[in-house]
Amino acid sequence: MMTQHRLTSRDQAQARDGQDCLAPMRAHFALPDDITYLDGNSLGPLPHAVRARMTRTVNAEWGQGLIRSWNDAGWIDLPERVGARIARLIGAPAQAVFAADSTSVNLFKLLSAALALRPERRVIVSERGNFPTDLYMAQGLITQLDRGHRLVLVDDASAIPAALCDDTALLMLTHVDYRSGAMHDMAALTHQAHRVGALTLWDLAHSAGAVPLDLAGADVDFAVGCGYKYLNGGPGAPAFFHVAERHADAFVQPLAGWFGHEAPFAFEPQYRPAPGAARYLCGTPPVLAMAALDAALELWEDVDLDALRAKSLALTDAFIATIEGACPDRVLELITPRDPARRGSQVSFRHPQAYAVMQALIARGVIGDFRAPDILRFGFTPLYTRFVDVFDAAKTLRAVLETRAHERPEFQIRAKVT
């Protein structure tokens, strides 16, 4: 099945781009001509609309409008408005989603809620390979509460159902694994968690804007996600949280800042939570960053998410097939599922010298990610990635491996961030 998707020439790749209904979206992004960018799952590229929005927000709204822009430019409503844009992409009601803080901080709020809503239970189930900050935030909360909670980590996704029991308060998973790109069955696992009376918290960092999601249909309780990957909101963009409406008024989360108060500008000494998920807001929203994310999200308004998914799978299929056709000596070990139903929007290979290989690729203008200890990660962000990018990246990777370019000493030294 894979071989039919192998790209054997750049012309063939261009022909496929010519048939891509999403191809016009690429023009909305500032992508340098001299690089093949396969790292939009670490940092999405700059949408041109963000330039104009930042100019307006900085010069007109801040510079001229000054404090009046909290009302006149609608700064005050940005967490809600940006949240509503994200809600559409993740299949959730608008009022259940807000943009705020970082993913880590939002995890703490929702973890606190989940444990409070299951007061007799003591276990959070997750994966040892979950993104570290998710595990760290759970560890931080458990230590702080000091009530005997435990984080139970499974080594393999197949072990999750058996790990759920009547002491499980929460199943906390990242929907698409940041290393392998393996995707969980959100609806099935949520159902299994609910069957034992547990709640669910899904991290959508590698899902929102990458694959169609249906949080409402899957009956998800809580979710967090990232603004700077597939949503292209800029480096360190605000994150988002989702709280199912049935839980929204059931708990007062501990990061009880004034923007989650029912009447922030009444300046009352006693906290009164806002109704609904708005109580999960905390401090003053970062307007410049929110404005950038808001402008980036405007691009999604007319995007067909099923077409997006089809293109994502076509790109990742093509990359796997082209790499495997080009590098038959199996020095690269595919760790991304071949089954499309279990694959996110990235392709990852193990290589014993993965760091050096990625450095050699970057030196040749192909930007992917290294993930310790031995993973090459390539993000195929279907809003702007082309089949020619697949072809060029595969060709460059083959050239690096054939010439052993990665063995040059300058590619062996690790930078601070990789």
Looking at the annotation, which residues are catalytic?
A: 131, 203, 228-229, 377
Q: Report the nearest approach of a copy of itself to the CB of residue 5 (Å).
A: 27
Decide: is 344 part of the binding site for a copy of itself (CB under 8 A): no
Q: Report the nearest approach of a copy of itself to the CB of residue 284 (Å).
A: 5
Residue recorded with tokens 């370019």: 405
Please report how the helices 10-18 and 387-403 are oriented relative to each other, as an axis angle in degrees rounded to 10. Answer: 160
DSSP state at residue 157: G
Decide: is 192 part of the binding site for a copy of itself (CB under 8 A): no
Closer to a copy of itself at the Cβ: 54 or 216?
Answer: 54
Structure tokens at 77: 């409503």
3-state secondary structure of 124: strand
Decide: is 257 part of the binding site for a copy of itself (CB under 8 A): yes
Decide: is 362 part of the binding site for a copy of itself (CB under 8 A): yes
At a CB cut-off of 8 Å and minimum separation 6, what does 204 contact? 90, 175, 213, 223, 224, 225, 226
Closer to a copy of itself at the Cβ: 255 or 307?
Answer: 255
Q: SS3 helix, strand, coil % of the chain, rounded to 5?
A: 45, 15, 40
Decide: is 286 part of the binding site for a copy of itself (CB under 8 A): yes
Decide: is 26 part of the binding site for a copy of itself (CB under 8 A): no
Q: Report the nearest approach of a copy of itself to the CB of residue 4 (Å).
A: 32
Q: Report the nearest approach of a copy of itself to the CB of residue 235 (Å).
A: 4
Strand residues in 78-237 grouped as ranges (E): 97-100, 123-127, 150-154, 168-174, 199-203, 222-225
Interacting residue with a copy of itself among 18, 24, 269, 409 (CB under 8 A): 269
Using CB under 8 A, which residues numbered 74 to 113 contact a copy of itself?
Answer: 75-76, 101-105, 108, 112
Rounded Cα distance between 384 and 89, Å, is: 17
Closer to a copy of itself at the Cβ: 71 or 412?
Answer: 71
From residue 304, give the alpha-carbon distance in Å to each of 309, 310, 389.
Answer: 9, 10, 22
Decide: is 274 part of the binding site for a copy of itself (CB under 8 A): no
Bind-site residues for pyridoxal 5'-phosphate: 103-104, 131-134, 174, 203, 206, 228, 258, 284
